[in-house]
Structure 1
């Protein structure tokens, strides 16, 4: 018989909260972390009990200076454990920013980022790891999912 009590230490699963931002030409905003080969979408892990859209917005602001409201999920991607713990990645729609939007990337010694820039869609496979590029390609299909918190839209 299964014990109905919650485990004292629930298993750890990271929740990745990423943001897909485009410019008017359709280029995708990527950041270049010094700890990975290739560029990635801005974002990072949610803190315990942090709503995922707020975590994504927090990381986006910290990495690029952009302050956006996020309410739509474009893709949901489960990544099995490798050198990190297994995790679930949500890709939020950051919308389209105006041409000339200024990006503010913190110094590398504080952020672990070499920079950020908009990359044309056709160049994504050349600058991203295959799984990262595939995630972005799926997010770009235009099929969106509503973000719900306890069954209610976040907007």
Structure 2
């Protein structure tokens, strides 16, 4: 049964679903959106009712051509409202992929992306906004947590 008191004023928060993918050299996969200064982890917002791991996998596939199963979170980042809504960003562990040749970024006019590439970890501060680079640094340093849906593993 739904409690109308809980649904009367739902919170206005965007759920960001991001993916940390590395290659065999340890470089981090980033995308370059035309609407931001700097590169970011692949991912995007979940649709209403969409499980976050499936949203992250959908964005990763659309933005890079990589198809991965995601079930572990390596970072959780809350960003208060500024020029955007407040955001809760989940960073999923995408693991290590074998080759850079599997990347296929869609055309810019359709995706808003200038491209996607693996970037060495020591170069991240030069190509990302400080908060984005810090998020990736924390995700690289942490251990994974399982994503649960109704108390069961989501994968």
TM-score (norm 1): 0.94
Whether 2:17 is the aligned partner of 1:53: answer no
Shift of 1:102: 1.6
Task: Please identify runs of 4+ aligned residues in structure 1 that moved more than 2 A.
Answer: 6-9
Shift of 1:4: 6.8
1:4 and 1:20 mapped to 2: Cα distance?
Answer: 38
* Cα displacement string for residues 32-53 of structure 1 (whole angstroms, at most 9, x for unaligned residues): 0000000000000000010000
**Runs of 5+ consecutive residues of structure 2 not aligned to the other structure:** none
Shift of 1:68: 0.3
TM-score (norm 2): 0.94
Count of paired positions:
153
Cα 1:8/1:107, change in 2 over 3 Å: same
Q: SS at the partner of 2:31?
A: strand
Aligned to 2:20: 20
Q: SS at the partner of 2:44?
A: strand
Shift of 1:80: 0.5
Q: SS at the partner of 2:62?
A: helix
Q: Which structure shows the higher helix fraction? A: 2
Q: SS at the partner of 1:37?
A: coil
2:56 and 2:140 mapped to 1: Cα distance?
Answer: 18
RMSD: 1.4
1:110 and 1:138 mapped to 2: Cα distance?
Answer: 31
**Runs of 5+ consecutive residues of structure 1 not aligned to the other structure:** none
Aligned to 1:83: 83
* Cα displacement string for residues 55-91 of structure 1 (whole angstroms, at most 9, x for unaligned residues): 0000000000000000100000000111110010000
